[in-house]
Amino acid sequence: MNYDCIVLGAGIVGVSSALQLQARGRSVCLIDKLAPGEGTSFGNAGLIERSSVIPYGFPREFDKLIRYALNNQSDVRYDFSYLPKITPWLASYWWHSSPKRLAQAAVEMWPLLQRCVTEHDKWITLANAQDLVRAKGWIEVFRETLSFEHAKCDLDELGFYQLNYDVLNTEQLLVREPTLKPIVKGGIHWLDPKTVTDPSQLAKRYAQLFVKLGGTLLNGDAQRLKQKNNGWALQTDEQLLESDNVVVALGFNSPELVSRFGYKIPLAVKRGYHKHYRVEADHVLQQPICDHLAGFILAPMTNGIRLTTGAEFTDPNLPAKDIQINRAEAIARTLYPLGEAVESTPWLGRRPCINDMRPVIGKAPKAKGLWVNFGHAHHGLTLGPISGRLLADLMTEDKPFTDPAPYSIQRFT
Ligand SMILES: Cc1cc2nc3c(=O)[nH]c(=O)nc-3n(C[C@H](O)[C@H](O)[C@H](O)COP(=O)(O)OP(=O)(O)OC[C@H]3O[C@@H](n4cnc5c(N)ncnc54)[C@H](O)[C@@H]3O)c2cc1C
């Protein structure tokens, strides 16, 4: 079968890329070894996160570094045995996290973040997925007065982005989220983001829309991709697919494939977990809350309250470990009356994180017809549709809505 384009990977990024190309009249075949939205896009916290405008850099404050060195926190944990392997990447991540470089990264990511909600809205309507989406934002909760005061001061630096938020004292916070325990010192309610009650289901609805509009969705192994006659060929179990263009959107598995064509991408995996808990009738959370210090999110979802963790550094291929989710759960129970756990083991996801905190989107010129869209780190759900739009603009030679240079894969050659 011949297509204008083969998209490899049906996570939120690949599905969105396929939809955007299809909307420009291209025939598209979307390939995954799993069903859509079953990779990292399955289990995130569901934030379409238009308020986290400063990328999550490597901390530089002395007190934070000491805290992480002790390796007993819930927001970041690591396996000592993995440190020699990850240290070169961490060093380059640290270098890109200087205040000046981080500010530059924020400015360069803003054109994508600024449009992330409106771009999702378009597809949410077309995919009939309004039932999965809430427009109440999320609340950052502080358990310590000092960190609340610091966070309030930091708000002044965000003026450029014109974000909408409410600063809440304890009383106001407990009115907005009455189920929280009164240990809280205050909160910031971020109003621009939307939140999703089942992120995997959203990717599946987008994929259903793609198929309904004539797109082809097939199971296959992207590693079987071959260059052939100036184009590309991929043998699935059922058929041979051919195309002039291929998009690599394989999340954390992408570097392995593009390395075959001469690209060495400094991408590391920040693992993260989730687990669901039952909700008592009188303890319903109105919107997701994030614990500022412990880095976990409690999000009301279809399967109960979803507790998600921060970052874990260890071999990406090792099975899930309980340590980080248990630490988060212990703190979460001091904040909110979590019910019984729904699952006995946590779900494990792998965030695809590039050292300079920007994804790669666009042409990969070392191989004719090779395109990339991966490395969305903490914000793949947020950025899927908008980075798909930029990619499709570039592939169809439409005028891109923003300068694509900051996301070029050429920065790694
Ligand atoms: C705990 C946690 C919380 C998060 N919270 C948020 C949040 O609130 N908001 C947000 O925006 N982001 C969040 N993220 C990040 C977000 O989930 C990711 O950035 C996003 O899912 C990445 O999407 P993707 O499509 O690039 O990758 P994936 O979803 O991993 O998709 C890649 C696809 O490629 C397929 N694949 C891989 N190899 C092959 C192969 N050889 N052949 C065929 N198919 C293959 C996989 O099966 C998979 O379906 C969170 C992540 C975690 C772990």
Give the CATH number of the domain where residue 380 resides: 3.50.50.60
| Arithmetic mean of pLDDT, 1-16 | 97
Return the half-sphere exposure (C-beta side, CA atoms, 13 A cut-off) of residue 255: 14
Task: Kindly report the protein residue whose alpha carbon is nearest to atom 2 of ligand 1.
Answer: 44
d(CA 40, CA 42): 5
pLDDT at 413: 76
d(CA 252, CA 147): 33
Top mutation candidate among 204, 218, 253, 347 for ligand 1, by most atoms within 8 Å of CB:
253
95-149 tens-digit pLDDT: 999 999 999 999 999 999 999 999 999 999 999 999 999 999 999 999 999 999 9
Task: Kindly report the protein residue whose alpha carbon is nearest to atom 19 of ligand 1.
Answer: 380
- Is 235 inside a domain boundary? yes
- For residue 199, the one-letter residue type is P
391 Cα: distance to centroid of ligand 1 (angstroms): 18
279-315 tens-digit pLDDT: 987 889 999 999 999 999 999 999 999 999 999 999 9
CB burial of 390-411 (b: ≥16 within 10 Å; e: otherwise) equals: bbbbbbeeeebebebebbbbee
Task: Kindly report the protein residue whose alpha carbon is nearest to atom 25 of ligand 1.
Answer: 11
Contacts of 136 (CB under 8 A, 6+ apart): 195, 286, 287
Number of structural domains found in the chain: 1
Q: What is the dihedral of CA 134, 274, 312, 310, to 10 degrees?
A: 30
What is the DSSP secondary-structure string of 254-291? HHHHHGGGT----EEEEEEEEEEE---GGG--SS-EEE
- What is the overall mean pLDDT for the chain? 97
d(CA 207, CA 213): 10
Residue with tokens 């310590």: 144
pLDDT at 305: 97
- Is 297 inside a domain boundary? no
pLDDT at 230: 87
Size of the chain, expressed as the number of residues it contains: 413
40 Cα: distance to centroid of ligand 1 (angstroms): 3
Top mutation candidate among 265, 381, 386, 387 for ligand 1, by most atoms within 8 Å of CB:
381
- Is 207 inside a domain boundary? yes
Which structure tokens are listed for 410? Answer: 């050429």
pLDDT at 48: 98
* DSSP secondary structure letter of residue 341: B
42 Cα: distance to centroid of ligand 1 (angstroms): 7
183 Cα: distance to centroid of ligand 1 (angstroms): 34
pLDDT at 85: 97
Question: Do the beta carbons of residue 82 and residue 315 sit within 8 Å?
Answer: yes
- Is 132 inside a domain boundary? no
* DSSP secondary structure letter of residue 59: P
Contacts of 325 (CB under 8 A, 6+ apart): 273, 274, 275, 307, 309, 346
Residue with tokens 């960190």: 147
378-391 tens-digit pLDDT: 999 999 999 999 99
- Is 10 inside a domain boundary? yes
pLDDT at 282: 82
Task: Kindly report the protein residue whose alpha carbon is nearest to atom 12 of ligand 1.
Answer: 379
- Considering Cα of 314, then 317, then 320, then 325, what sign does the dihedral take? positive
Q: Point out the ligand 1 atom lying closest to the alpha carbon of residue 383.
A: 11
- Is 236 inside a domain boundary? yes
Q: Point out the ligand 1 atom lying closest to the alpha carbon of residue 14.
A: 25
| Arithmetic mean of pLDDT, 39-56 | 97
Q: Which domain holds residue 233?
A: 2-42+200-266+356-412
- Is 144 inside a domain boundary? no
CA neighbor of 392 nearest in space, from 6, 3, 12, 22: 22
Top mutation candidate among 351, 361, 373 for ligand 1, by most atoms within 8 Å of CB:
351
- Is 35 inside a domain boundary? yes
Residues in the ligand 1 pocket, defined by CB under 6 Å: 9-14, 31-34, 38-41, 44-47, 49, 221-223, 249-251, 253, 272-274, 308-309, 349, 351-352, 374, 376-382
